[in-house]
Structure 1
Amino acid sequence: MRRTARLLTGTALTVAATGLATAPAHGGETGSLLVYPSTTMPGSQVTVNTAACGEKGAALGDAGAVGAGVFTLAPSTHEGEAIGRFRVPPSAQPGTYEIVAKCAEGTKQVTGDLVVALNAVHEQVQPRGSVKTGVGGALGTDPVQTAAGVTALAVAAAGGTWLLHRRARGDGI
C-alpha cells in the first residue's frame, strides 16, 4: 500500500514538473495583455500587445476606462502578437485603469493594467559631481596653496636636475 502511494505521488510530481517545464518562456504570454509603458503620464502614447488571439489574430481594444476609447490591435510578425496603440487623454486622472482587448475571432478577452501618474519620468538622468575615491584633494581648491605646491615641485625638479648635471660632469656631490 505504501509503495503504491509513493509511486503515485512520484508520478504526480513528475507530471507537474514536466508541465511547468513546458510553459512558454518568452515575454508574450498567451493569456495576458501587455501594456508598455505600464506607468505613464496624461498625453502619452501607450502600446499594447497580446499573443492570445493566435498567430494571425486581430483584436479590438478598449481603453475607455482611462478615457481613450476604442483602438485596434493588428497582427504583427513579433512572436505572433497583435499590437495596438492609443493615446492617454491629457485630462486623465492619476490611478490604475484596466485595458481590455477582445479577439476578433472567438470570444477570448484579455486584460492588462495601466497606471497613470503625474510624475512618471522616462528619461535617463546624467550623473553629476565628483567621485569620492579618497585620492587627492588634500590641499583643497585654495589657489594660494595650489601655487605653493606647484612652486615646491618646481624647486625640487630644478634641484634634482642640478645635482644630476654636477654628477655627470664629475664634480661630485
Structure 2
Amino acid sequence: MRRTARLLTGAALAVTTVTGPLAASAYAAGTTGLEVYPSSVVPGGAVTVNSAACGDAGTAAGDASAVGAGHFTLAPSAREGELIGQFTVPPSAQPGTYEIVARCARGGREVRGDLVVTLTAVQPRGSVKTGVGGALGPDPVQTAAGVAALAVAAAGGTWLLHRRARGDGI
C-alpha cells in the first residue's frame, strides 16, 4: 500500500513539474491582449476594456476612434498589475467589427482587442436543455397529460393502501 502511495505521489509530482511551466506560460499568453467587455454592443452602449500586458506601467492611452469613440485612459484597477478603462460607443456607429488599441505609458507596447457593433442587442431566447424537465413546459397538452398521469397514480396508490388496511389483500 505504501509503495502504491509513493508511486502515485511521484507521478503527480512529475506531471506538476512538467505541466506547471506550460500552464503558467499559457496563462501569461492569455493576458497579453486587450480584453473588451462586452465583446458585442449596440450603438450607445458602454464598453469596458482591461489588460495586464502593461504590467505596472501606471496608465495606458486607449484609442477607440475606429468606432468613433475617440481616446480614453486606462488606469490601475483593483486587480494588481491590470489596467482598466471605459468608453461609450456613439449612437451613430455602424455595425461591424472594430479594433480597439491601447498603448502602455512605459515602453510604448501596443495591445489590441476587437469590438463587434450590432444593430440589436442579442437577447437569449428559449429554454436551456439541461436534461431536467420543468413543471410547466411550452406545451400545455403535455403538461396536462403529465398531471393526469400523476393524479391516476396517486389515486391508484391510495386505493391499494386502503384495501390493504381493510384486509382485503391486493
TM surpasses 0.5: yes
User: How is 1:4-153 mapped onto 2 (pairs within 5 angstroms)?
Assistant: 19-25=21-27, 29-121=30-122, 130-131=136-137, 132=142, 134-136=145-147
* RMSD of aligned Cα (Å): 3.6
Task: State the 1:57 CA deviation.
Answer: 2.6
Structure with more helix by fraction? 2
Question: 3-state SS of the aligned residue for 2:25?
Answer: coil
Question: 3-state SS of the aligned residue for 1:136?
Answer: helix
- Which consecutive unaligned segments of at least 5 residues does structure 2 have? 1-16, 128-134, 150-154, 156-161, 163-170
User: Would the alpha carbon gap of residues 89 and 54 (structure 1) be closer, same or farther in structure 2, given more than 3 Å must change?
Assistant: same
Question: 3-state SS of the aligned residue for 2:66?
Answer: coil
C-alpha deviations, 1:96-115, integer Å up to 9, x for none? 00000000111200000000
Instruction: Kindly tell me the number of residue pairs found equivalent between the two proteins.
Output: 129
Question: 3-state SS of the aligned residue for 2:146?
Answer: coil
CA contact (8 A) 2:77 2:84 kept: yes
- Which consecutive unaligned segments of at least 5 residues does structure 1 have? 1-14, 139-152, 154-159, 161-173
CA contact (8 A) 2:57 2:105 kept: no
Output the CA distance in 2 between the equivalents of 1:103 and 1:57. 8
C-alpha deviations, 1:3-33, integer Å up to 9, x for none? xxxxxxxxxxxx996642322538x933100
C-alpha deviations, 1:106-141, integer Å up to 9, x for none? 12000000000011236x7697x9324541358xxx
TM-score (norm 1): 0.61
Query: What letter matches 1:72 in structure 2?
Result: T
CA contact (8 A) 2:51 2:83 kept: yes
Q: Please identify the structure whose Cα radius of gyration is greater.
A: 1
Query: What letter matches 1:135 in structure 2?
Result: G
Question: 3-state SS of the aligned residue for 1:25?
Answer: helix
TM-score (norm 2): 0.62
**What percentage of residue pairs aligned between the two structures are identical?**
56
Output the CA distance in 2 between the equivalents of 1:29 and 1:62. 21
Output the CA distance in 1 between the equivalents of 2:52 and 2:121. 27
Question: 3-state SS of the aligned residue for 2:22?
Answer: helix
Output the CA distance in 2 between the equivalents of 1:109 and 1:93. 25
Output the CA distance in 1 between the equivalents of 2:85 and 2:69. 13
CA contact (8 A) 1:29 1:52 kept: no
